[in-house]
Structure formats: C-alpha cells, structure tokens
Amino acid sequence: MNIDNSKVHMGIAHMQFLFKQMLRIRRFEEKCAELYTQEKIRGFLHLYIGEEAVAVGVMQALKAEDAVFATYREHGHALARGLSMDKVMAEMFGKVTGSSRGRGGSMHIFDVEKRFYGGNAIVAGALPLAVGLALANKMQKKNDVVVCFFGEGAVAEGEFHESLNLAQLWQLPILFVCENNGYAMGTALAISESERHIFRKAQSYGLKSHAVDGMNVVEVESAATQYCQRIRKGDGPCLLECNTYRFRGHSMFDTQLYRESDEVEAWKRKGPIMKLQRWLEANGKLSSAELKQIEDQVADEINQSIAFAERSEIEDISDLYLGVYGESES
C-alpha cells in the first residue's frame, strides 16, 4: 500500500479504526447476502463489497452538521456515517425499528439525526436533491458541506450535468463523489462514455476535481478532507472520482456475464481491506491477535443486530397513514 506520509494526518490508531470500519461493512454485507438467500431480507439487494474505502474515507472529512446523500448501494455509507447497525439491519428486515420504520428496505435507509438523507432507487436521483440542500445551506449562511455519492452510471443522466452546472453557477457548498466501479449495471464504461475520466466532465463545468485510488482509504480520506476544507472556505463545489470495483454483481440477481472472472479476481487482490491490512501488518501495527479481536467484535455486533431485527415487529397496519399528507376520500 502506497501511503504519502506528507498527506496522512492520522495516527496508527486512526488507521486501525479505518480498517475496522471497512471490515464492519464487509462482514455486514456478506451476512446480508446470506440472509437474502434465506429470504429474511427481501426485495432488491445491492452490495457494497469491494468499495468500502470510499464511504469510510469520505466520512472522515465530515462534521455532524454535514449532510450525506447516497445511492441504492448505501448500506456501507450508512454504517460509515454512524447509523447503528441495529437500525440498518432492522430496516433490511422490514421491521418498524428500522431507520425508515421498515418502509424503505435496502434502498431507502434514512436517518435525519445523522443527516443521512438516504439511499435513492433512481439513478442520479439524489444529485438534484443534494444541490437543493446545498442551496438552502448557502442561503441560510451555514458553513455545512453536502456530500452526494453516485455511481458512474449516473453520469449518463441529465441530472448529473444539470446538478454540476447549477452547483458551479451558484458556488454551492457541495462535494460530489463518483464511485466509479467501471460498470453501469452490466455496461462497461468503455463502451458507453467517450470520456471515461469522470473528473474531466466536472472540470468542463469549472469544478475543482480529480481522481483517486478508491481502493486506498488513506488516499480517499486525504482528498476528501482537502476538498471539504476548500468548500468550507467558500471556494465552491468539488468533485472527487474514486476508482473502485464491486466484487459482487450489480444486484443479487446479476449473473455477471459481462465481465471475466479473472478481472474480478485481479481487483480482489488489491481490495481496500486487504491493502490496508497488509500495510498494518508489514509495519507491525496489527498483530494476528489484534486482527482476531477485531473480527470477533465485528461478528458480535452483526449477530446482535440480527437478533435485534428478528425480535422486532413489523409496522402495525394502524400506522399505515403515518407520514401521509392528506386523507383519502371515504
């Protein structure tokens, strides 16, 4: 793992924290895949396995007052933002104790206290919402940052271009984070975009932007921190392109016929968790005993979240009108 010590502002304890956060997400996702096959989790399920460094790295640059918008692959973002695993797992189970009372499921995790404004099932759907909140922050003279995660597939949508244009035009306090995993569902970026460097598209609108190794959590955190500092100074919006890779298919229904297994295995060998683990071990900062302790702690947290979800209730039918603005006619 290549780490530029001039950019690393964190100590070893923090790097161990980053490692544990990524491991929490990985093991949570793996367990969700298992629970899905058991039909305890239903509907759609889009796993974040392989992309953990992006969510974990970016979240370190944020304050509690900042806001986060995510995609339908947002379990990792939610956990990295600080939502309790109990609430996230209960939401996956469709239980009333979930972050969205079980109404949203996998794609619509939401927590206003954490200023986590949810996953969004519509490709590029969160972009204009994030711009709207950033505009509200500027009008209210708040020194808060809005972060909007999206995949490279969203770049083909008009909302992407409209959102970047308005954000730059109005100099809004927003950080766009493109999680570029190379495939928009099953379509390779190489056969769908003439300009495959997403950050260059942002530069065409005047945004400060560049690409980073999305498999290196230290590099992601460093870049996100620098951009958030710039945004808080009032220097306008920025875009960070994180080149990453999902190890699983687009969703649980994906047969992955569009990519070779050798390609997937090659990316796994440079995965974010393995990369940081190797560096910590090579530098004597993570022993086998410490690794086992972390694994055990993560396993206990996941098991407790499953137990919490299983003993929670489904929302009572009498609550179906909660959150509905108008009454239906009799």
E strands of the chain, at which residues? 67-69, 146-151, 174-180, 183-184, 187-188, 208-213, 238-243
Pick the CATH number of 12-312 from 3.30.365.10, 3.40.50.970, 3.40.50.20, 3.90.1150.10: 3.40.50.970
More confident position, 292 or 182: 292
pLDDT band at 327 (very low <50, low <70, confident <90, very high): low
- Its pTM stands at 0.93
Lookup: tokens for 171: 């100099």
Helix (H) or strand (E) holding 159: helix 158-169
Q: pLDDT for 101-158, tens place per residue? A: 999 999 999 999 999 998 999 999 999 999 999 999 999 999 999 999 999 999 999 9
Lookup: tokens for 316: 């009572």
Least confident of 7-21, 169-183, 294-308: 7-21
Q: pLDDT for 255-299, tens place per residue? A: 888 888 998 999 999 999 999 999 999 999 999 999 999 999 999
